[in-house]
């Protein structure tokens, strides 16, 4: 149980952070929550890949997307930042499921843009509200400098990402099979310096998605302590090193509070 003193400590630290910051925590067993500006709409950076991924799983479950379908990737599709597809040159075909797995596990920006363009951005614009998302908006593809210069940005909230992750945990996102697969892919995340940063050597599964950009450092995830919990951190125009440190320490403190992990 989170003491009032510890909750006050979290609030004081968050109040002192540079820029706009938010946090949402929920214990999946007790229902206990801690929230700080959890419904504020902030720029998500690569956290926007989580709802994109989950909507593709919805489409697959409905028979509207074939995970084995091969999509042409060309040199013209390549964008910067993280990912593996940058290393492949010339025309090549990649399956939808490979693209969305790369989008999550390696935060592949090229894979993300291919997936957005393949389904059509309007598909996500229409789907997100049906998923219960109002602060979460896909307004542009990644690395669209022209749109960014015009102030067009994507957005999300800590609460909405926590809501999606809770559905994955409770196996209610589409169905049990889809939720289990989503968790499996999220648990293969390769960027583990934030939520897992101080607990990465512990016997614990963490299914999460990070996001980073200039002045932005985010991480949202499920931590399988003895009492599993959702924890989501978003920040814009912040001191990245300071907020990363806060993410690591708060995640570890919550992990300790919820007990040692129940299973791998």
Residues 65, 191, 230, 7, CA torsion sign: negative
Within 8 A by CB and 6+ apart from 101, the residues are: 185, 188
Q: Residue 74, Cβ neighbours under 10 Å: how many?
A: 11
What is the spatial distance between Cα 58 and Cα 244, in angstroms, rounded to a whole number? 32
CATH number, residue 136:
3.40.710.10
What is residue 202's predicted lDDT score, i.e. its pLDDT?
65
The per-residue pLDDT for 200 is 75
Residue 204 lies in a domain: yes
Q: What stretches in the chain show pLDDT beneath 50?
A: 262-264
Is 262 domain-assigned?
A: no
| Residue 71 to residue 74: CA distance in whole angstroms | 10
Tell me how many domains the chain contains: 1
pLDDT given for residue 228 in this prediction: 97
> Would residue 36 count as lying in a domain?
yes
Question: Is 232 a member of any domain?
Answer: yes
pLDDT tens for 18-38 read: 999 999 999 999 999 999 999
The pLDDT, as a whole number, for residue 264 is 37
Name residue, tokens 């101080």.
Answer: 198
CA 258 to CA 41: how far, in whole Å?
28
The number of angstroms, rounded, from the C-alpha of 58 to the middle of its chain's C-alpha atoms is: 17
Q: C-alpha angle 192/195/201, rounded to 5°?
A: 60
- Domain-embedded: residue 84: yes
For residue 102, being part of any structural domain is answered with yes
Q: Which helix (H) or strand (E) holds 250?
A: helix 240-257
Q: Does 264 map to a domain?
A: no
Q: Model pTM greater than 0.85?
A: yes
Length of the chain: 264
Q: How many CB atoms lie within 10 A of CB 82?
A: 17
Show the domain range for 170.
4-257
């Amino acid at each position: 149980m989170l003491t009032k003193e510890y909750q006050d400590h979290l609030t004081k630290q968050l109040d002192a952070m540079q820029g706009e910051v938010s946090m949402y925590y929920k214990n999946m067993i007790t229902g206990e929550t801690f929230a700080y500006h959890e419904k504020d709409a902030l720029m998500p950076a690569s956290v926007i890949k989580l709802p994109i991924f989950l909507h593709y799983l919805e489409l697959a479950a409905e028979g509207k997307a074939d995970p084995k379908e091969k999509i042409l990737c060309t040199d013209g599709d390549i964008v910067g930042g993280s990912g593996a597809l940058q290393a492949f040159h010339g025309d090549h075909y990649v399956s939808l499921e490979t693209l969305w797995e790369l989008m999550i596990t390696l935060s592949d920006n090229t894979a993300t843009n291919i997936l957005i363009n393949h389904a059509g951005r309007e598909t996500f614009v229409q789907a997100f509200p049906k998923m219960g998302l109002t602060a979460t908006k896909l307004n542009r593809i990644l690395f669209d400098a022209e749109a960014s210069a015009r102030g067009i940005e994507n957005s999300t909230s800590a609460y909405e990402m926590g809501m999606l992750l809770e559905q994955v945990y409770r196996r209610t996102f589409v169905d049990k099979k889809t939720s289990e697969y989503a968790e499996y892919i999220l648990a293969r995340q390769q960027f583990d310096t934030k939520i897992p940063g101080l607990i990465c050597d512990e016997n614990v599964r963490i299914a999460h998605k990070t996001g980073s950009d200039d002045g932005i450092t985010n991480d949202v995830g499920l931590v399988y302590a003895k009492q599993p919990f959702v924890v989501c951190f978003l920040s814009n125009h912040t001191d990245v090193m300071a907020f990363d440190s806060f993410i690591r320490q708060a995640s570890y403190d919550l992990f300790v509070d919820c007990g040692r992990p129940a299973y791998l």
